[in-house]
Amino acid sequence: MFGIRPRQKITQADWKGYMAQRAQQAKNPAIQQFFATPLPDPETPIADVPMVALDMETTGLDERRHGIVSIGVVPFTLSRIKLAERRYWVVKPPRPLDEASIAYHHITHSEIAQSPDLDVILDELLAQLAGRLVVVHFRNIERPFLNAAIKARRGEGVLFPMIDTMSLEARMHRQTLWARFRRWLGRPPVSIRMHASRERYGLPPYQGHHALVDALATAELLQAQIATHYRPETPLKDIWC
């Protein structure tokens, strides 16, 4: 959809087993700590799941060629998004910024020049994510980028279950009989990008492409999706991936 290359698909495996196994094997203390913090059971009602919305701005779309420039996280639950607990970092990507990406995320050379490497904030970031279900809009950016960036710095990657608001949106608008019928008629598919998705739930437009604002927007979108298509009792396993 964004012209990205097809990549290895991470399927919904036995996340509980995977996390336990990684906790055993991890050598880096921060990573070990991350995997050792238990995630909610897959059967937990979504209303009881502690979550954290995550968004990052990158210099491009390929984790092998591009780097992370900013990360925003906002802890939340189904009932409250806690802005006071938000975290936001600008980090220096290992490769130079390309001008086109500046126009996109508005983070400038000088801002980045003064920023630390991801490695400096990684322990903090992992601590924020530990024990919480990470929520993103389009996991195929965040997951491989994080995994690659951490692997480059600590010698081992980090994978974990996520709730992807874009894929939840796709379930409603891309995989239904109605969606297939539309496609058959040659109609353009319903947009499942952030702005269009939020609009469908009456959420206000936010200025996009700021990692923290996008994280907030993602958290709000998930609340709206659950309120509209699911129930507070819906088990986590129906939603994560």
Partner 1 sequence: MDVELLEIRQHMGRFPPFDGLSDDLLDAIAEQVEVSYFKTGSSILALNEMLNDLCYIRSGAVEVYRSQGELYNRLGEGDIFGHFSLLRNHKVRFPAQAIEDTLIYFIPKAVFLRLCEEDEHFADFVELERPRLESAAEQQKKSNDMMVTRIRKLLTRYPVMVETSTSVQHAAQQMSEAQASALLVIKEGSDNPRYSFKDSEGQTWQMCGILTDSDFRTRVVAEGLSPQTAVGEVVSSRLITIQSDASVYEAMLTMLRSNVHHLPVLYRQRPVGVVHLSDIIRYETHSGLYLVSNIFHQSSAQGLARLAPDVSAAFVRMVQEGANSQMVGSALSTIGRSFTRRLLEMAEAELGPPPVPYCFMVNGSMARNEQSIVTDQDNALILSDEFIPEQHDDYFHALAKIVSDGLDACGYTYCKGDVMATNTQWRQPLSVWKGYFQDWMANPTPERLLHSSIFFDLDSCYGEDLYVETLQDLIADTAPKSPLFLAAMARNALNRTPPLGFFRTFVMEQDGKHNNSINLKRRGTAPMVDLVRIHALACGSKAQNSFQRLNDISKTQLLATGMSEKLSYAFEFLCMSRIRHQMIDLQEDRLPDNNIEPENVADSERHTLKDAFQVLSNAQKFLKFRYPMPAQRQGR
Compute and round to an integer the Cα radius of gyration of the chain: 18
Please say whether the beta carbons of 76 and 47 come within 8 A: no
Residue 80 in contact with partner 1, rule: CB under 8 A: yes
Q: Which is nearer to partner 1, 22 or 87 (CB)?
A: 87
Q: Which is nearer to partner 1, 42 or 45 (CB)?
A: 45
Please say whether the beta carbons of 26 and 108 come within 8 A: no
User: What ranges in 2-45 are assigned the alpha helix state H?
Assistant: 15-25, 29-36
Q: Which is nearer to partner 1, 65 or 106 (CB)?
A: 106
Smallest distance, Å, CB 190 to partner 1? 18
Laid out side by side, the sheet with 133-136 consists of 87-90, 68-76, 51-58, 133-136, 162-164
Smallest distance, Å, CB 53 to partner 1? 11
Which of 64, 105, 109, 65 lies closest to 88 in space, CA to CA? Answer: 105
Residue 223 in contact with partner 1, rule: CB under 8 A: yes
* 3, 17, 204, 233: which one binds partner 1 (CB under 8 A): 204
DSSP codes, 129-150: HTTSEEEESSHHHHHHHHHHHH
Q: Which is nearer to partner 1, 113 or 177 (CB)?
A: 113
- 70 strand-pairing partners: 57, 90
Residue 228 in contact with partner 1, rule: CB under 8 A: yes
Q: Which is nearer to partner 1, 26 or 90 (CB)?
A: 90
The interface region with partner 1, picked from 74-82, 97-105, 121-129, 137-145 by CB under 8 A, is: 74-82
* 23, 47, 88, 157: which one binds partner 1 (CB under 8 A): 88
The interface region with partner 1, picked from 13-21, 32-40, 84-92, 147-155 by CB under 8 A, is: 84-92
Q: Which is nearer to partner 1, 174 or 229 (CB)?
A: 229
Residue 218 in contact with partner 1, rule: CB under 8 A: no
Residue 83 in contact with partner 1, rule: CB under 8 A: yes
Number of residues that bind partner 1 (CB under 8 A): 27
Q: Which is nearer to partner 1, 81 or 97 (CB)?
A: 81
Which of 35, 69, 39, 36 lies closest to 55 in space, CA to CA? Answer: 69
Query: What is the widest separation between alpha-carbon atoms in the chain?
Result: 54
* Interacting residues of 91 by C-beta distance below 8 A, sequence separation 6+: 68, 69, 70, 71, 112, 115, 116, 117, 118, 120, 121
Residue 203 to residue 197: CA distance in whole angstroms = 9
Sites of contact with partner 1 (CB under 8 A): 72, 76, 79-84, 86, 88, 201-204, 206-207, 210-213, 216, 219-220, 223-224, 227-228
